[in-house]
Structure 1
Amino acid sequence: MQNIASQKKWAAMLLTVLTASSLIAGCSGNKDALEPNKSSSSTDGSGNTQRSGGEGKDEVGYPAQMSYWVPLDANVAATLKNFSDVGMYKKLQEVTGTKVEFKHPSADSTQRTEQLNLMLASKNLPDVIEYTWTEVGGGPENAIQTGTILKLNDLIDKYAPNFKKYLKENPDIAKMVKTDNGSIYSFPFIRGDSKLMVFYGPIFRKDWLDKVHMDAPKTIDEWEKVLTAFRDQDPNGNGQKDEIPFLLKYNEVRDATRNSLIGAWGIGAQFYQVDGKVKYGEIQPEYKQFLTTMRKWYQEGLIDPDFAAMDAKLMDAKVTSNKLGSFYGLSGGNIGNYLGLMKDKNPNFNLVAASHPTLKQGATPVLGQKDKPYKGVGAAISGKAKNPEQIVKWLDYAYSEEGRLLYNFGVEGKTYEMVNGYPTYTKLITDNPNGLSMVQSMAQWMRSNYSGPFVQDKRYVEQYYKLDQQKTALETWSKAENTILMPPLTLTAEENKRYSSIMNDVNTYAEEMGLKFIMGDEPLDNFDKFVNTLKKFGIEEAVKIQQAALDRYKAR
């Protein structure tokens, strides 16, 4: 009995001590005590912030440091050497305390892909890899299965409340950012409004159109008449027949995201779908019709004779030297840039966007440029990351309201001010004191005018398009059906291996033969032979692979 009484006495004393300790903690000025959902942390030998306590999402802090592999945008590279020099990342480090070591691969796309593949093969991986994961060999699901990157579903559910909320509110996007198995593999770049998805199309010299007394053409027949007038009526006024009516960007004819000109014939050059059935454009009779018209234009001097070897610098030179009458281009990087460059050099210089062409007058264009809300670009967490929960929290910040403003508009008080609730760029961006173009000044502070793991805000483009010609271009180019465009598909590892083998041969051969047909080096009578060769390469099997992927996408 005495032992029992003694035990009760010690239990009562222990309870008193615990109660007192609890009261002291509750009354103290210790912030962690006042906010029990925020954990205290320590640092490991690698400098990563470690969680203390349970697995709750609120107990995870931001990482102390992390490595991040990401291509350096050309407009950033024009004035800075590393993303760590960009204003928004400096501010992000202040907010999160995370020091990021950015690793930038080659600017050349081929070398960049080679560097990525070597890195993945070596298993010597950084914490975060930002890339177009739908284009990685084997696809993103294979990258998860091999341990290259992590499946993020559970991590997002626990540690990414902002991104989780966005996916719940946007089920169409949630469908796009998953594999067919339902795996989320990256924090994606999302174009957050339809205004952000149209930015490319046909552009004509408005001052030349005025001189030849014509409007911007709408049909292929009207295009031919305008181009002929540009060739014959000396619209640049120098008394010489040196005008180049049209620059055909052949590589963009075959680019499913650009579809330059070929949409007039109701097809895409490569894969497209009609009522859920996948087709391949270059084996369709309409493709022969397109080639026939382009060959005629080339022979008649309506297409730039240098079109097959054209690059951006040569195109810039032809536009600014008052030689080129029409081309496909960007609303910002071409319309805005050229109008700015020529403002003093040639005050009469003017540009106007034309609608995507049709074959019939009054018809709605079947196909134009329209980007997808999601194209596979995202920041994935590698299987080598030691603190994935903390990295998820860091990446999730971009999808918060504060993060969205930071990624799209930079630092408040420096690059933008809130005016009646609207984030308005300052003159540092719109009229840079160092003479930088708007696109370059933006690139020093934010990622809104290219891509990244965040949701792009339409208010950025509303200010980026300062000129009436740009605003009109957006409206004009948006008038296309685009129902035949393919959604973002993912292939299985087995499909990807076979598909890549087929398309390597198809693309090399089709690009070579298309140029030969247009330039007259190959008779159009050989078109059927061309189609049969593509079939021997396996293009019909590639169509079936795409069809299976489309069917799985619809079933997600």
Structure 2
Amino acid sequence: MKRKMGLVILSLALLVGLMSACSQNNAPNEGGATGNSSQATNAQSPELPAGGEKLTEIPLPITNEAFTINYWRANDAKLTASMDNFGEMASYKKKEELTGIKVKFTHPPLGQQKDQFNLLIATKELPDVIYYNWADAVGGPEKMIEDGRIIRLNELIDQYAPNLKNIIESDPDVKKQIALDDGTIYMFPLLKLDALKLNATTGPIVRKDWLDKLGLKAPTTIDEWHTVLKAFKEQDPNGNGKPDELPFTGNWGPGNLTKLHDFSPAFGVIGGFEMKSGKVAFGPIEAEYKSFLETMAAWYKEELIDPEIMTNDGKAFDYKITNNLAGSYLGGVFSGMGKYFNLMRDTDPNFNLTGAPWPVSPDGNAYATFNMNNKVLTYGEAITSSADEDKLKYIVQWMDFNYSPQGSDLFNFGIEGESYEKDGDAIKFTGLITDNPNGLTYDQALASYALSIMDGPINQDSKYLDALLFDQGQRDANTEWMKASSELTLPPIRLTMDEASTVTSIMSQVNTYLNETMTAIINGQKPISEFDKMVETIKSMGIDQAVEMHQAAYERYQTK
């Protein structure tokens, strides 16, 4: 099925200097699943059979005729620890049994998904379905629709996807975030309806046993952070009689200190585009950013920041934590906490970690560096123009199954009685996950059963998170990080194609220059007096125009 798609004029926003978090990672006046926006483009949806009834639930099996969906998506290292492709996952095997539809997965080599996607999308014949982070697609999903590579799904969702349709119609945030600015829905996305809890999984982490030994509490302000880091440097909390502690470390490379931006909200600014007094601004040219740079430079000079922070790789970072050298860092509840609890449980029973609050800013609020209220991520599965038009209703029903109660449990937790058990309203993973007999880590074991530990087209259930936070430090961190405000960060705005082209050109220069200059100021190669010159240089590169374009996109978002 090949259709010429009309012009869709909006593209993805370019955000800089924020964690990932996270990313990421993301409807119009009358859009959503059931209507056409008054601003709709000429992009055409496939014609639907006349007189068909709208589904209220997904019939199982969906079809009795032999049918295989060709599906392309990136693989995941957690999955490949025990199997070759997603088709071997227990949840997908069970889905085939229930729906009657087979799936043939194709995966690019690990780490090569961007290059391979660009090659794939340029080919004449595409797979039926592509799952991708559409923020990485050149021109965004708008361009993919304009070029006739993927199709508009609004009418198909309205007719054949009762579960996703219900979510869209019952949650204004999802309805606003899932569609392009003209109302087009193009994917079945990774959703996080319990957004705050599921997004608050990354933040500042501190050695709690060191705090306890020195009679300190987790820092809440920049001044308290300085007190704690200085104590870690001078008071031998690891007890080996050597001044070898690294108060704050990380593994960010190569060669810049941009991730120290995670401390910038303590000064009321973030290291990229931000909201300030209801308007879009660019944090690094604001006056507060100078105070941030000055403080970070002082910390670096006092050796409170690991001098190798710009060159640490994963192995070096692991070594410093597991050898009792690292006092604090930024990380997540799994890779930054659970991993080290497991590694240190037998070798050092006193080892303990806690999540420190995001530092309080001068206005008394603690701000996160990423928007924790985003419910629709930029990851999702889209139907391509190569899919058989006669099979579209089956493909859409197959995709919608993941958002049904049965499909949600299956893809969040795996097989009941095998990978998990229900305990009232909670769920508990079995020993196959928590103590895998084949030596798989819990995330590798869960990846062989469900999508929740990775990413995929599901509504991620926060009960999976609760079930995997084995240590109190992880649970406390998640609770603490949920308290941070997202008011400094932009919502998931979209730039038009023309705006995106201009902003990309401007920001490629700005980002390179900013990273080099802030790193030089923090590590002492340049004085703080360089800040004024930095601001003028960034302005000369066109930052005001980029801010104006983000402001226009923000205003469009607000009118959805």
**TM-score (normalised: structure 1):** 0.85
Spell out the pairing of 1:11-90 with structure 2 (5 A cutoff).
55-56=52-53, 61=63, 64-90=67-93
Matched letter for residue 437 of structure 1: T
- Conserved 8 A contact 2:130-2:383: yes
- The counterpart of 2:214, out of the listed 194, 200, 212, is 212
> Corresponding residue for 1:107?
110
- The counterpart of 2:333, out of the listed 328, 331, 334, is 331
- Conserved 8 A contact 1:147-1:383: yes
Structure 1 pair 285–341 and aligned structure 2 pair: CA distance change class (3 A): same
CA distance in structure 2 between the aligned counterparts of 1:308 and 1:107, rounded to whole angstroms: 25
> Corresponding residue for 2:501?
497
Matched letter for residue 174 of structure 1: K
- Conserved 8 A contact 1:369-1:477: no
> Corresponding residue for 2:303?
301
- Conserved 8 A contact 1:139-1:490: no
Q: Deviations over 1:37-80 (max 9, x none)?
A: xxxxxxxxxxxxxx999755569748711121212223223332
Secondary structure of residue in 2 paired with 1:309 = coil
Q: Runs ≥4 in structure 1, deviation > 4 angstroms?
A: 51-60, 248-255
Structure 1 pair 221–122 and aligned structure 2 pair: CA distance change class (3 A): same
- The counterpart of 1:241, out of the listed 235, 243, 247, is 243
> Corresponding residue for 2:356?
354
Structure 1 pair 52–516 and aligned structure 2 pair: CA distance change class (3 A): closer
Spell out the pairing of 1:487-526 with structure 2 (5 A cutoff).
487-526=491-530
CA distance in structure 2 between the aligned counterparts of 1:373 and 1:411, rounded to whole angstroms: 26
Matched letter for residue 107 of structure 1: L
CA distance in structure 2 between the aligned counterparts of 1:77 and 1:288, rounded to whole angstroms: 45
CA distance in structure 1 between the aligned counterparts of 2:171 and 2:313, rounded to whole angstroms: 39
Q: Which runs of 5+ in 2 are unaligned?
A: 1-47
Q: Does 1:187 align with 2:191?
A: no
Bigger proportion of residues as helix: 1
CA distance in structure 2 between the aligned counterparts of 1:471 and 1:493, rounded to whole angstroms: 42
Q: Which stretch of the first structure deviates more once superposed, 368-377 or 470-479?
A: 368-377
Q: Deviations over 1:217-245 (max 9, x none)?
A: 11111111111111111111111111111
Could you tell me how far 1:546 is from its partner in structure 2? 1.1
The structure whose RCO (Cα within 8 Å, separation 6+) is larger is 2
Q: Does 1:537 align with 2:538?
A: no
Q: Which stretch of the first structure deviates more once superposed, 182-191 or 130-139?
A: 130-139
CA distance in structure 2 between the aligned counterparts of 1:249 and 1:264, rounded to whole angstroms: 22
**RMSD of aligned alpha carbons:** 2.3
> Corresponding residue for 2:198?
196
**TM-score (normalised: structure 2):** 0.85
Q: Deviations over 1:164-209 (max 9, x none)?
A: 1111111211110000000001001111213212001111111111
CA distance in structure 2 between the aligned counterparts of 1:271 and 1:146, rounded to whole angstroms: 30
Q: Does 1:414 align with 2:380?
A: no
Secondary structure of residue in 2 paired with 1:550 = helix
Matched letter for residue 69 of structure 2: M
Structure 1 pair 254–272 and aligned structure 2 pair: CA distance change class (3 A): farther
- Conserved 8 A contact 2:257-2:519: no
- Conserved 8 A contact 1:246-1:325: yes
Could you tell me how far 1:249 is from its partner in structure 2? 6.1
Q: Which stretch of the first structure deviates more once superposed, 396-405 or 128-137?
A: 128-137
- Conserved 8 A contact 1:138-1:494: no
Q: Which stretch of the first structure deviates more once superposed, 93-102 or 165-174?
A: 93-102
Q: Deviations over 1:471-520 (max 9, x none)?
A: 11111111212212211122222222222222222222222222111111
CA distance in structure 1 between the aligned counterparts of 2:436 and 2:469, rounded to whole angstroms: 16
CA distance in structure 2 between the aligned counterparts of 1:183 and 1:274, rounded to whole angstroms: 30
Matched letter for residue 183 of structure 1: T
Q: Deviations over 1:121-152 (max 9, x none)?
A: 23442211112223422222222122111110
Q: Which stretch of the first structure deviates more once superposed, 206-215 or 62-71?
A: 62-71
Q: Which runs of 5+ in 1 are unaligned?
A: 1-50
- Conserved 8 A contact 1:139-1:492: no
Q: Deviations over 1:265-301 (max 9, x none)?
A: 1111101113431111111121121111111111111
Secondary structure of residue in 2 paired with 1:327 = strand
> Corresponding residue for 1:393?
397
Structure 1 pair 529–249 and aligned structure 2 pair: CA distance change class (3 A): farther
